[in-house]
Structure 1
Amino acid sequence: MRRAALFSVLLAAFAAPAAAQQLFSRADIEFILGKRDANNAVVKEGAESRVQMVYHYFKRDRDPNIPAPGWINAKLLGAMFSHPVWQDPDDGLLNEAQLWQSPDSVLYEFFELVRRSFPPADGGKLESPGALVREYEDNRVKFNMAYDRLLRAHMRNSLNGRARAEIATYGLINNQLDGVMDGLINGNTQRYKAAVIGIAALCNSSYEILQVNPRGYVQAAKDQSGLNNVALFFAMIGVLVAGLLGLSIGVENDEKIVGLAERYKTKAKEWAHEYERQFVVIKVHYLVGAPMAAGLLIGLLTFDPYGFLIFFGMGVYAGLILPGWLLGIIRQRRGARCEAQLMDTMVLMSNGLKSGIDLIGCIGMATKDMQPPISEEFGLCLKNYHLGMSIDKALEGIEERVQSRLLSYMIKAVVIQRSVGGNLTKIFDRIVENIREESKLVEKTAAMTAQQRIQAIVVGVMPWIMLLIMFAFQPKPMAAFYFTPLGFVTLLFCTIWIAIGMKVVNKLGDISV
């Protein structure tokens, strides 16, 4: 069936040679071949001449009269010639330059086929396109092979960032070659003509891609070593002036600075003592120094003064507040764990009191039978009592160390009972009942406000995660903005409002029980 269609096309083509003459207008011919004046000088370049020029761009013995883009220099060509990328069974080992020459070589042959349908004045023979079906098919297969080699050789990062656009253009040309064959086989001359004009336009686009810088391309800066030295000199002067200014401020406020340092040392000692009281062995100066050192290191790795100030400032701030913040978290979590064990402890002590054991013995039972942290607290209380402290003072020490409202109620009940009298067993039973009911209510409210708490976490954490992701994928543009005074102010502004947002959203789910 296909042979019959081809045969009919051939007969129609040979029977009407005048149709080939009128298929392309003068403007179409000039668009494909270009335009020359009476002296045969090029007035306007056509697609065919541009394809030929692109082919010569990557030729080893390129004609020096052919103007090439500045980026196609001897260094680049040398690297392309010495870079084998494809093993062809017929042509052997092909280098990078040869692989880019192949599509343009095939396209030049294509335009030579098209020329054969032009009038003799334009170098043609007025041949009907239908008579050249086999030649067009061979040309299409050759181009498809050249295009496929570029894809399979992973040449998308070639040509200094222009290869992706070139390969995409070749893909469109490959589609138009299918259109050429479709028009020839079906006898649709307009389809054939449109495909040829489309290929010519795409060849012009391919040529233009090589003439301009790709997106994101930064042209190499001119040698400005003299200006850079001047800028470096003034930068050093600025650093020196800033250092002298800081030194003078420090000298004038020497007493205040020493006082602040002494107060912070005292606070650090208090923190160390509090950590010991929470049964946590940790060195406070590590908590202070580690964030500062991390901020200093990250700031130096940015190789940017504003980046250094941002990260080092964050490290200093984190180092100053980390010990107190961590201590608060430890106390809160330890108090929550004690509250979780308090009901079982009070049941144990209540049963001991009912069996005739005194309060000191019940505390000893809690120390032996319960798990930390409440066993540690009652053990320390018992140890203080044996060292001579009154049991009331020893229990108040637990209340001071442990951040727990329910444990505080229990201790106050014991102290009041010892001072005014009463049935401690019934008091314990009543407190246990209240704790049980309150625990149910707390769990219910926690389930009801889980969404608000998760939203608060998302509001606070997600912007910083997105910032880190953007820094990971686009470090240069992000650093160019955030490591500037405006970027620093933006970060500060965002931090304040994110903190406010977290507080507001968290407050929506804060229910006092």
Structure 2
Amino acid sequence: MRRALLAGWIVAAAAGHARAQQLFTSEEIGYLVGRKTAAAKQDGAETRVQYFYHYFKKDRDPALPAPKWVEQTLDAMLKRPVWQDPEEGILNEAMLWQAPVSVLYEFFELVRKSFPPSEGGQYAPPGGLLRDYEDNRIRFQMSLDRLVRARLGNSLGGRGRAVLAHFDLINKQLDSVMDGLVNGDTQRYKDAVMAIAALSNGAFDVLQSNPRGYAPAAQPAGGSRTASLLCFILGIGCAFFGAFTVGSLNEERIQQGIERYKAKAKEWAHEYERQFVVIKIHYLVGAPMVLGLIAGLLTFDLFGFLIFAGFGVYAGLTLPGWLLRNIRLRRGMRCEAQLLDAMVLMSNGLKSGIDLIGCIEMVTKDLQPPISEEFSLCLKNYHLGTSIEKALEGMEDRVQSRLLSYMIKAIVIQRSVGGNLTKIFDRIVENIREESKLVEKTAAMTAQQRIQAIVVGVMPWIMLAVMFVFQPASMKEFYFTPLGICTLLFCTVWIGIGMKIVNKLGDINV
């Protein structure tokens, strides 16, 4: 009787110990390594990893069906060398993908050892396999590192990045496996193993699916597209008819506006000639208008046409004046850069006994444009009968330069009331040198503010253009509506205010 009780206690203790050692349930074991029953066969993560590995073998079992893209790309992958290993030699693309998969298969074999014998295991405690798990983790990291450094994101028919993302997560879960084993946390170990199985299945599923990408946009029906085009043409026609009607009712005002424009165009042409620039004003006005109309027509949207056409008209009317101001400003800056040399040359000429006219001739001969052109024109006006004072004042009116104005005023005052012009020139030269130092210093100190003003003003429009390029339909759907137009106007106003404020912070008058 005692022997029977002792035997029963030993059997019960062994069964309890076995239950304590069994970390995974029967369903989890099937998910990890698969299970084959009389009714059906369940492919686990380990089995799918095997499939993954054998997909990239030329002599694989014909009974193993591979995706079509594998059949199409396998030969190229086997012929393409992508890595050179000191020990293994040259590895092709297929071998590089097989390496981490084979390590994963060994990982699941290690996990299998902790299963009960009925499931093909040995009831080995996971903690006793710590070194094996560590070696497995290191080899997986090395194989993953080779994949990343070989830049195979576009491999596997465009599926490489998705598979690499799964492998990267598996690598992190391998760290969790080690943490669980080192700290004796069996639950963490189990969760990490199940996560690795799920990620392995996910990587295998990537091979079976199409690569990620944008779905092709739905093409509108032929009838709706034709109707939309007809509505667009009708809208453009109505817009032109409305413009023609308004023009007919205000013909006198429009004629007056045309006359004012012609007078302004002549004035602009004269000012450009004074800046030694020959240009057709009608081209400056008409080119932006035509480009705006063409861009508006290409949008195939009524609001888009109005926006681009309006912007083209505005640009055409303002471009000549803006360009003229810019040319005058830049020409004045170039003259100021040469003014110091001109004044030194004139001062030396006056000291040597040459009169003012002779000094001006020296400047026209010895210096480079644009200052030589300005003094040459001044000299021509003098030879044609204009007084030297009037000729210099004409140059002052042409050139937008504060320092040049100082020099001209000094000459005019000296010729009217007398004085030592040489000393005056020397004093102006000294002031110009000191002022140039201050200007350069302030320009260096305010460079960041000026760059910020440019970025604040330009970057939103660059981003808007990029979004129009990549998502034209979505952008047109919003911005070519009354709300979108109001949004653009609101943003334009506040961007302009921001540019003005930031630019003002760096605007220091010396």
TM bucket (normalised to shorter chain) is: 0.5 to 0.7
Aligned with 2:71 (options 59, 62, 81): 81
The residue correspondences of 1:202-241 to structure 2 (distance < 5 A) are 202-203=199-200, 205-206=202-203, 218-220=214-216, 224-225=220-221, 226-241=223-238
Aligned with 1:496 (options 493, 498, 501): 493
Contact 2:403-2:432 within 8 A present in 1 as well: no
In the other structure, the counterpart of 2:417 is 422
Alignment-mate amino acid for residue 500 of structure 1: I
In the other structure, the counterpart of 1:455 is 449
Paired with 1:461 and 1:184, the residues of 2 have a C-alpha distance of 54
Paired with 1:87 and 1:54, the residues of 2 have a C-alpha distance of 15
Paired with 1:341 and 1:188, the residues of 2 have a C-alpha distance of 81
The residue correspondences of 1:340-489 to structure 2 (distance < 5 A) are 340-342=337-339, 345=342, 360-412=357-409, 422-423=417-418, 425-427=419-421, 429-430=423-424, 432-434=426-428, 436-437=430-431, 439-441=433-435, 443-444=437-438, 447-448=441-442, 450-452=444-446, 454-461=448-455, 464-465=458-459, 468=462, 475-476=469-470, 480-481=474-475, 484-485=479-480, 489=486
Paired with 1:474 and 1:228, the residues of 2 have a C-alpha distance of 21
C-alpha displacement of 1:304? 7.6
Alignment-mate amino acid for residue 87 of structure 1: L
In the other structure, the counterpart of 2:87 is none
Is the alpha carbon distance of 1:498 and 1:118 closer, same or farther for their aligned partners in structure 2, counting shifts above 3 Å?
closer
The higher-RCO structure (CA 8 Å, 6+ apart) is: 1
Alignment-mate amino acid for residue 22 of structure 2: F
Contact 1:82-1:95 within 8 A present in 2 as well: no
Is the alpha carbon distance of 1:100 and 1:312 closer, same or farther for their aligned partners in structure 2, counting shifts above 3 Å?
farther
Contact 2:73-2:157 within 8 A present in 1 as well: no
Contact 2:479-2:488 within 8 A present in 1 as well: no
Contact 1:86-1:94 within 8 A present in 2 as well: yes
In the other structure, the counterpart of 1:4 is none
Is the alpha carbon distance of 1:112 and 1:271 closer, same or farther for their aligned partners in structure 2, counting shifts above 3 Å?
same
User: Which has the larger displacement, 273-282 or 303-312?
Assistant: 303-312
Is the alpha carbon distance of 1:432 and 1:456 closer, same or farther for their aligned partners in structure 2, counting shifts above 3 Å?
same
Paired with 1:370 and 1:126, the residues of 2 have a C-alpha distance of 96
Alignment-mate amino acid for residue 86 of structure 1: M
Contact 1:346-1:428 within 8 A present in 2 as well: no
Alignment-mate amino acid for residue 426 of structure 1: N
Paired with 2:432 and 2:136, the residues of 1 have a C-alpha distance of 82
Contact 1:338-1:374 within 8 A present in 2 as well: yes
Paired with 1:445 and 1:328, the residues of 2 have a C-alpha distance of 21
Contact 1:21-1:126 within 8 A present in 2 as well: no
Contact 1:80-1:95 within 8 A present in 2 as well: no
The one-character-per-residue Cα deviations of 1:68-87 (angstroms, maximum 9, x if unpaired) are xxxxxx9xx54442223432
Alignment-mate amino acid for residue 395 of structure 1: L
Is the alpha carbon distance of 1:22 and 1:298 closer, same or farther for their aligned partners in structure 2, counting shifts above 3 Å?
farther
In the other structure, the counterpart of 1:71 is none
SS of 2:21's equivalent in the other structure is coil
TM-score, with length taken from structure 1: 0.65
Alignment-mate amino acid for residue 403 of structure 1: Q
Contact 2:442-2:508 within 8 A present in 1 as well: no
Paired with 1:324 and 1:127, the residues of 2 have a C-alpha distance of 90
C-alpha displacement of 1:455? 0.3
1:320 lines up with 2:297 in the alignment: no
Contact 1:291-1:319 within 8 A present in 2 as well: yes
Is the alpha carbon distance of 1:152 and 1:410 closer, same or farther for their aligned partners in structure 2, counting shifts above 3 Å?
closer
Paired with 1:160 and 1:480, the residues of 2 have a C-alpha distance of 30
Contact 2:449-2:505 within 8 A present in 1 as well: no
C-alpha displacement of 1:484? 1.6
Contact 1:20-1:129 within 8 A present in 2 as well: no
Paired with 2:227 and 2:166, the residues of 1 have a C-alpha distance of 47
Contact 1:460-1:498 within 8 A present in 2 as well: no
The one-character-per-residue Cα deviations of 1:303-346 (angstroms, maximum 9, x if unpaired) are 88777766665555444333322322332333344445556655
The residue correspondences of 1:104-119 to structure 2 (distance < 5 A) are none
User: Which has the larger displacement, 391-400 or 50-59?
Assistant: 50-59
Paired with 1:368 and 1:146, the residues of 2 have a C-alpha distance of 75
In the other structure, the counterpart of 1:170 is 167
Q: CA RMSD in A?
A: 5.7
Identical residues among aligned pairs (%): 53
Aligned with 2:197 (options 197, 200, 211): 200
Paired with 1:410 and 1:183, the residues of 2 have a C-alpha distance of 85
Alignment-mate amino acid for residue 271 of structure 2: E
User: Which has the larger displacement, 379-388 or 250-259?
Assistant: 250-259
Alignment-mate amino acid for residue 72 of structure 2: S
1:24 lines up with 2:15 in the alignment: no
Q: How many residues matched?
A: 470
Alignment-mate amino acid for residue 484 of structure 1: Y
SS of 2:78's equivalent in the other structure is strand
Alignment-mate amino acid for residue 83 of structure 1: T
C-alpha displacement of 1:489? 4.4
1:280 lines up with 2:277 in the alignment: yes
Alignment-mate amino acid for residue 199 of structure 1: I
Is the alpha carbon distance of 1:307 and 1:41 closer, same or farther for their aligned partners in structure 2, counting shifts above 3 Å?
farther
SS of 1:279's equivalent in the other structure is coil
Is the alpha carbon distance of 1:357 and 1:239 closer, same or farther for their aligned partners in structure 2, counting shifts above 3 Å?
closer
Paired with 1:383 and 1:468, the residues of 2 have a C-alpha distance of 48
The one-character-per-residue Cα deviations of 1:265-314 (angstroms, maximum 9, x if unpaired) are 33233222222222234444454455556667777788887777666655
Stretches of structure 2 lacking an aligned partner (at least 5 in a row): 1-13, 82-90
